Chain A
């Protein structure tokens, strides 16, 4: 695959760029013909990175554009929109949120416009309204009040129950709702023309996978993802892998490991506090942000598996 690296300087250091907090250029990778992805930082959301940790993509069709995820703040969303506008002035027909997490939806406010339809899982409106206020509160210390002041919770109006077909004119997108495991609200977007699958957080690369909903569900989703016939898979975090089969297998191996170790601990009667101290430790070298998420993944998995 041929990679083109585009550096989009937002008008260089203009006043407007500074006002947006644009301290770094907003880089876009061309993933396939008419498909671009901004690769987020492998980091936790904070004021310094404007919440810009998730991968953000867009697909240009001849009728208009579909945006996939909007970033971790309205500031990041605006910078993303400005970057899109350097490549195309077609209308933004759809804003698709791959799931409920703040790093993917907090930028929605930057994209609210007449004629733009927000799209998400059938479960997303309810989950967003339940968790949105909680996210705003719990991310305030790290993001700072200024960064979150203009963040609004924008729910989707077009919902994906199982599959949904979106027509951008010269290309068709198939949106698929997954059983859920990462977040319970996960959908993927596949461009049928280039067989590019934008997977959201169904796939993590380099960044340790995060289990927010269900360990077993996430494992099932990962196994199903392995059966995809996509040519390219764009993960929710980390670079687009050259060999996505390897990336999916690596994620499955991590989830399998913690599942097996948790089950062994439960069988031996170990408690939660004791178990999370060692589960997954053999996978440490494989992932970034291991200390930030591994014990949390183990906690979620433990509370789930002990009832099985």
Chain B
């Protein structure tokens, strides 16, 4: 495992945008520690949050994670922020971290300032029994953390399914807007974005060559409605094959949703969907 982690660091160098580069030494130190070492979380706090104080997020941030992952390569995870109706604070950013994964930081999610996004669901790989941490930054500038424990093993090296392995499929996208939830205010809608991409973790083996498939994953996704950003993600290898995001937001009346995704080979996938005016 240690060897694989080192290999990953060497080959990948966490080339996931410059914002990550400054964090490499701390992450590297954390990654080379024993997988069961409880000290990994403090070193991740140093690496990712620069030792900023993390408040107890219980009651504010809810992390939905199964106690046992049915399929370690597709573990559904949800993050939801609960703010009382008079609370002036808003959600600015979310982080998702799987402590024991070769690349613990699953993703950073910047929330569009006018989006009203409070809930985000995705699917991730979990390589070992692990704590999963979610951190939310609110407009008060503070970081709120919650965690859950997930029993899963082998998610990062689980062989990929054939469907999105074919080059012709890579980058195909679907966006769906759901609505009609009675507990949501009239302008509240829900969006689902799906992208066909192998999101190779760099830990999967090519069946023919017996060599590790180089890491190849979607590293950035921006989602807009009209000119307003809903969500911007920077992600790593722990996002499942065929990246999938589901989120709620305030519809601003724009007729189109636009998505731009970039993978680690520099391929850009862009698509717009005409939705028609919100009917509610």
Contacts and interface: CB of A to CB of B under 8 A. Distances in A.
Interface in B55-113: 64, 66, 70-72, 74, 76, 78
A295 B205 contact: no
A134 interface: yes
B174 A307 contact: yes
Contact of A141 (B123, B153, B158): B153
Interface stretch (B34-42, B206-214, B252-260): B206-214
B216 interface: no
Contact of A299 (B74, B163, B178, B246): B74
B140 interface: no
A123 to B, nearest CB: 9
Given A272-B123, A299-B70, A300-B71, A133 B76 contact: no
A184 B162 CA distance: 10
B210 A129 contact: yes
Given A271-B246, A273-B78, A138 B153 contact: yes
A303 interface: yes
Interface string A1-12: 000000000000
B70 A127 contact: no
Contacts of B246: 271
Contact of B190 (A134, A269, A273, A295): A269
Given A300-B71, A307-B163, A271 B76 contact: yes
Contacts of B76: 271-273, 276
B159 interface: yes
Contact of B154 (A127, A134, A271, A276): A134
A45 to B, nearest CB: 14
Contacts of B206: 130
A132 to B, nearest CB: 9
Contact of A137 (B71, B154, B178): B154
B154 A303 contact: no
Contacts of A129: 205, 207, 210
B194 interface: yes
Contacts of A273: 64, 66, 76, 78, 121
Contacts of A298: 70
A284 to B, nearest CB: 16
B242 interface: yes
Which of B196, B205, B207 counts the most A-chain CB atoms under 10 A from its CB?
B207
Main secondary structure of the interface of B (DSSP, over half): loop
A131 B244 CA distance: 24
A264 to B, nearest CB: 15
B41 to A, nearest CB: 22
A137 B208 contact: no
B84 to A, nearest CB: 25
Interface residues of B, number: 34
B272 interface: no
Q: Which of B76, B162, B242, B246 has the most CB of A within 10 A?
A: B76
B161 to A, nearest CB: 8
A306 interface: yes
A296 interface: yes
B157 interface: yes
Contacts of B74: 272, 299, 303
Interface string B239-251: 0001010100000
Contact of B70 (A130, A134, A141, A276): A276
A126 interface: yes
Contacts of B162: 184
Interface string B219-245: 000000000000000000000001010
Interface in B168-218: 174, 176, 178, 190, 192, 194, 196, 204-208, 210
Contacts of A184: 162
A124 B258 CA distance: 42
A93 to B, nearest CB: 27
Q: Which of B153, B159, B192 has the most chain A CB within a 10 Å cutoff? A: B159
A51 to B, nearest CB: 17
Contacts of A134: 154, 157-159
Given A126-B208, A131-B159, A273-B78, A306 B194 contact: yes
Interface in A70-87: none
Given A184-B162, A272-B123, A273-B121, A138 B154 contact: yes
Interface of A: 126-127, 129-131, 133-134, 137-138, 141, 184, 213, 269, 271-273, 276, 295-296, 298-300, 303-304, 306-307
Interface of B: 64, 66, 70-72, 74, 76, 78, 121, 123, 153-154, 157-159, 161-163, 174, 176, 178, 190, 192, 194, 196, 204-208, 210, 242, 244, 246
14 contacts: A127-B207, A129-B205, A133-B157, A134-B159, A138-B72, A271-B76, A272-B244, A273-B64, A273-B121, A276-B70, A276-B76, A299-B74, A307-B194, A307-B196
Given A138-B154, A141-B153, A298-B70, 8 more contacts: A127-B159, A133-B205, A134-B158, A269-B176, A271-B121, A276-B76, A299-B71, A307-B194
